[in-house]
Structure 1
């Protein structure tokens, strides 16, 4: 059953380390060795001052905590919500055509509090993950929900730096070179749009989408990506982080005969 395979992949992550040296991280946005990205989406407006209980800021924090902002057609997250957020391991399943990429990440930072923004103090909550050994990329990504305490504007911000990890498979390496960056930027655009759409008509107390149970205490996010009985299994390729559907591979083999 494919759900068991995803849980097994998640359980492989604890002993893995971050797959790059922190000392190599970019020192600015123009570092030629890295892609450095920032994206921001306005989510709505509350009255100025502290976040409104069960309002836009609180709801956005729940969506970010649960990885509900992701577009299930590109990236799905597998994790144990009962685990402490700081230090939590997550298996991300990248999806491109018939390929599936199993990508391990770990939450290495959580931010909560007030800080100075361009227009005054901001309330902020969010978390950071870094890529683990076997990931196709190297880097760090931070998701934050911010409220400008002066204007009441609530926004969602993404900060990231990344570069391609060494990939032995030449076909995969070439495909990633052609499509990887394009897909990455598409993902950044979609998460902001999805957060905005989820909160556009939100009212205090309204139910929010939440991850579906995958197996035992493991969930699959976002909620749109719940497993179906007919979902095909995955077949490991040469790279440990890449899978391809068995059923589609079998169909292609039959087509050649």
Structure 2
């Protein structure tokens, strides 16, 4: 029996349709998007298995969490499925998100807005190793905003944690039926996504540590570079407005 085609091949047309889509919000004003201004600002976090003090271990929980994040396997599959070309560099990744609720299926586009790979100095002078990325909503998404996923290791204590930070607001929904459904259930689904995502990432990391795992071969893994922004992001927004 032939093996079914991967989702990124089945959804090739949708992926291509978002390749040059603009963002549906002005990310340059992100600092202005506060609860006082009508935006949802959310933070979720979970503790991961600790490591010995010092830099992240090659096959410890920090590196395992990085692989889970890279592969986008942590969102609840009954709610959100991320579809992307696997060999595309992470900092250039465009994803089609397939959202499911009751008997509805929705398709949304997002783009990676930045990749973080750094060591930070904390207010108390200690340091932590941080890796992660954010993605931003594209034209046609029912929401507008940015969500960031990061894994942190405290270099002194060995504490490892996974953090989600999201800034969002309901976008433009032309279909009145969808608008009503999203108004009634959108916030609940948004919270469920984050709560289940932190739980699932922790479970996947713990399973990887129990079974043992190895990093992908450098020649096979998509290249990743730290970046704060796409150089063409503002141009994409300008085209959309």
TM-score after normalising by structure 2 = 0.81
Q: Shift of the alpha carbon at 1:43?
A: 0.9
The SS at the match of 2:195 is helix
Per the alignment, residue 163 of structure 2 pairs with 157
| Deviations, residues 65-111 of structure 1 (Å, cap 9, x unaligned) | 11011110110010012111112111010111111111100001000
The residue correspondences of 1:73-222 to structure 2 (distance < 5 A) are 73-117=78-122, 120-203=126-209, 206-207=212-213
Greater Rg by CA: 1
- Distance in 2 (CA, whole Å) between partners of 1:108 and 1:70 is 19
Per the alignment, residue 27 of structure 1 pairs with 32
Q: Shift of the alpha carbon at 1:168?
A: 1.1
- Distance in 1 (CA, whole Å) between partners of 2:151 and 2:204 is 14
Considering fraction of residues, name the structure with more strand: 1
Give the ranges of 4+ consecutive aligned residues of structure 1 lying more than 6 Å apart after TM superposition: none
Per the alignment, residue 222 of structure 1 pairs with none
The SS at the match of 1:138 is strand
Whether the aligned pair in 1 keeps the contact of 2:68 and 2:205 (CA below 8 Å) is no
- Count of residues in correspondence between the two structures: 209
- Distance in 2 (CA, whole Å) between partners of 1:39 and 1:198 is 17
Considering fraction of residues, name the structure with more helix: 2
Whether the aligned pair in 2 keeps the contact of 1:26 and 1:34 (CA below 8 Å) is no
Could you list the runs of 5+ residues in structure 2 that have no partner in the other structure? 217-241
Q: Shift of the alpha carbon at 1:28?
A: 6.2
Q: Is the counterpart of residue 63 in structure 1 residue 71 in structure 2?
A: no
Could you list the runs of 5+ residues in structure 1 that have no partner in the other structure? 211-257
The structure-2 alpha-carbon separation of the partners of 1:179 and 1:207, relative to structure 1 and needing over 3 Å to count, comes to: same
Q: Over aligned residue pairs, what C-alpha RMSD do you find?
A: 2.1
TM-score after normalising by structure 1 = 0.76
